[in-house]
Structure 1
């Protein structure tokens, strides 16, 4: 099988690593990729936001399967363009990708499907914003309704700050969603879907805040771990029955079947499981810890999801142990990351490239806010965590920043369910 991966981050590097180890994959390409993917997959210059260009590359390269990593090409309709070219594509249609492209759309789907989620207020103007904040009460949750790369959310007890964030979004032409605050730890659960059948993967936990102790601004994710030793028994089965399958069924009822990766961001609240948000693709950095634990070859699974045959696949097999990934970010991330600095140690075991490029000098340079995802698999969470941080010691990037407490609360048994 000839597989083309679309995207340029650590998620795509993790996908390429998993696909490269699959004997069924006879050729692997990645566009545009990064300095890490270029070592294991044929690189192509590509504008991922151009569906026509994505489909043209897939056609010219004679791809048997296209795997779309980021949300931008999905929301732009790249999966539709690839399928229109007669090529199997792992990724939802433009219509189905609205589950991530519009939080208000996702809320309406959840309401229709009876999926438990936070109460919400869709806001289109300043007057509505003030009313919604008053009705929601503190802590205030203010979200950009569209794509914001994980950085469009403000959670605060300061009404003035919530109002300012909402007004800034509205002034930029972005609709706003105000949500009820959800207590309890958050969980990321991925599920493969072919539009009918839903197959959940391992739950993971992401660390969104930039700094230790969950302080600092929201980011695209500073690290993750899987599995979750503190998760209640039967969590995956419960989420499959109450969240994932009803959502896929509702999308099919609407004539917008969801085929690809449905990512449920969940809060385990005092009132039960609640959906925080949906994404329409593999999450980053959770992909970097879920895929290394998957023993089942990946290509056949993704192809089955793309071709409506997921129900024919055998049950998934998982490796024992745990995985931890720690993101190395450029100085200034997430506001104004400094780009161009050389990176050394990026070719070490377990290092996945996120924002990197090979410069004219032949060296790896930082080309994004999140530069690397340093990953390790261990016998348990403590072992994986120790190895990941040992590997970090070999990385050199001027002004680099990373959290020192990824998975620490789970290792120390400090995560309390409400």
Structure 2
């Protein structure tokens, strides 16, 4: 991660029939387009036998992985299987020259590798390469930077770190196991080797969730994304949506520590180009949130994320967090067909109790690590609604464009202060006053 990386979270809470969680938007570091390279740096003294073996493994695995890359892209299962230590149920305890002696476990790992190969084929990749890095504590294991692109989605490389355990059989080095390494995000075919794929006009929906859930997500994307494309030039024609069935899969896809408490209902992330625009975002939906939401709630959450996809692909840099999330809520909540007083109930309760906000929410107020975010995100949404009152829908979109900065949150806020009089006909104080008046009216 670089200093340009950011994490976004939003509490989307709807009383009565809709109950929403939150979202996170994040940037991956920019990835170059160079070919695979191998590092043979040993982990220890040059004369150490284990270090020599580790260095040998790091060198050998680069050749094995190039073969696997080519086989995966070509859909050549036989060529891929030839790189796997136990692809066909080798006898437990067979001499693998570097295994831990657990032949059954190695057989299971071989089956998992082939399942992941099949999943990668269903997903469809246009690029797959590896950079072999220094060996790790196991002398027969290497950590590898994987670079890949999903066909029809990514215009820039995604990266992930995968740990490969290699073993020697009959003078050949083979892969006994592969495991994504946190905190980076695992590729979908490793996180969900049983994944199914549903393609539609504007969506590639991938996951282990049930078929109706995949279909519903595709319908939402097909409805929302073309509308956004008419408002945001250069919006991607198709978006990748990931629907894991289990928290463990979600943790792997997002790079979250296993078992970490969930704080967001969805995540949008992807690498940026040198202008600060996303080159192929994906949306990851949290399975726990999906299970507790109504159908309307799931639609609203995904629509919210698709706003991030559209804006991040078309606007260089990022507007202030309150504006980015407020605008996404404006579009998402617009699909709920519920009164704003109902949607904003927790915020309005705070206003009536005299504990409501008195300033436009800061990034800290919207940070789930800093405390409750529910009223903060509802407040940001209502700021966006106030912008619509002042300048209309196009005025809200114009403010998003005008406030974006590639230099971080503070610079975006400063840019926004300069843009408000031009776009809204008032400054921050004027916007704040109109927003507080709006909250008072809704709270009556």
Q: Provide the TM-score with structure 1 as the length reference.
A: 0.28
- The structure number with the bigger radius of gyration is 2
TM-score where L is the length of structure 2? 0.27
Structure with the bigger percentage of strand: 1
Structure (1/2) with the larger helix percentage: 2
